[in-house]
Amino acid sequence: MTEKLEEVKSNLQDETKTITTRKDAEQLKIKYLGRKGIVNDLMKLIPALPTEKRAAFGQRVNFLKIEIADIIDELITKVSAEVIPKIKTELFDITLPGKRPFIGKKHPITQTIDDIKEVFARLGFDVVYGPEVELEYYNFEALNIPTDHPSRTDFDTFYIRDDVLLRSQTSTVQIRIMEKQKPPIRIIAPGRVYRPDTVDARHSFMFHQVEGLFVDEGVSFADLKGVLNQFIKTYFGQNIRMRLRPSFFPFTEPSAEVDISCSICGGRGCSVCSYSGWVEILGAGMVDPNVFKAVHYDEEKYTGFAFGMGVERITMLKYGICDIRLFYENDIRFLSQF
């Protein structure tokens, strides 16, 4: 495998010698660093390697990626500087109004998180945060996720070392808060999460979640339904309908998936809702007693509910966006619409 990496670097160096225009340099960058580029193909080889060799090979590929990026960026700078500047001979009328400077705006993901925080603030929820680099205990064990659960494999979680990982859910924050604070607890926890998904129109290896938690004496499923219904009506509009479908999550029991009537087609059926008229927006349920045991709460005295929603999905439904990749391409034409 080391020879293959050296071969890629050698080929790049040969190709840079023939590049004379910025356009060709940009194409070379796409060839090596694009979503379907050579470096990405190397990353796809990792799952086929023996377990003990994956980390080392992955690290070498990342180093190569950085080195390639530096080489190509330097090349782009070089060929751009060699372009002969045009001699400005035209005259300007200084009495004409000047160009209005572009005023930046919040990214749509940031705006959605702010809107969600505002709605739940009205309902008495505090906003809390937690680390993105997390211990396996908080990401799995304390959340009642067994050791043989599929989400704990290398194919579903980014491990840094045996017991340290990039969190795959913001549910980790609820454990950290419950360890430090006794009920009543009413919080939401927005933040980035990471999963090794293949990037497509609906999936990304990095995305945002908002976790919600309410723990106190006498908290019921009716309270959960009421809070979510209030959020949905406030955020999406009074005409949006909500339904709950039975589901399963290791850290809640009973659990439900929450759907809303499609805001794109008004519930009539379209490609976004797979012509069903409904779109899933979050998962929720009553906190499992085993989770309370992990944080030393009296499960006989306290009950609570938790919910988690994907911010990208909420944003896509709110604004009628069909491809999650648009959020991260930094195209000012797209971002300036919000």
pLDDT in tens, 133-143: 999 999 999 99
Rounded average pLDDT over 251-266: 88
> Can you give the pLDDT at residue 87?
44
Burial (CB count <10 Å: 0-12, 13-18, 19+), residue 7: exposed
- Can you say how many angstroms the Cα of residue 264 is from the centroid of all Cα atoms in its chain? 22
**Which pLDDT belongs to residue 190?**
96
Specify the residue for token string 């300036």: 336
Is the CA virtual torsion 188, 190, 194, 198 positive or negative?
Answer: positive
Q: What is the pLDDT of residue 34?
A: 86
- Choices 3.30.70.260, 3.30.930.10, 3.10.450.50, 3.40.50.10380: CATH for 111-335: 3.30.930.10
Please give the Cα distance from 94 to 101 (Å, whole number): 17
Amino acid at 308: G
Instruction: State pLDDT tens for residues 150-172.
Output: 888 877 899 998 889 999 999 99
Assign 90 a pLDDT band (cuts: 50, 70, 90): low
* pLDDT value at 6 more than 90: no
| 124 has pLDDT over 70 | yes
Helix orientation angle between 22-33 and 2-16, rounded to the nearest 10 degrees: 170
Centroid of chain to Cα 338: 19
pLDDT of 1 reads: 64
Q: Tell me how crowded residue 15 is: count the other CB atoms within 10 A of its CB.
A: 15
pLDDT above 70 (res 215): yes
Determine the number of helices (DSSP H) and then strands (DSSP E) in the chain: 11, 10
Apex CA 66: angle with CA 324 and CA 27, to 5°? 65
CA dist 218 and 300 (Å) reads 10
Residue 238's H or E segment, with its range, is none
Q: By the 8 A CB rule, do 28 and 22 touch?
A: no
Residues 106-128 have a mean pLDDT of 95
Q: For 16-59, what is each residue's pLDDT tens digit? A: 888 888 888 888 888 888 888 888 888 888 788 888 877 887 78
Q: Has residue 271 got a pLDDT over 80?
A: no
Task: Say how far residue 33 (Cα) sits from the centre of its chain.
Answer: 21
Given a contact cutoff of 8 angstroms between Cβ atoms, the answer to whether 314 and 179 are in contact is no
In terms of pTM, does the model score above 0.85?
no
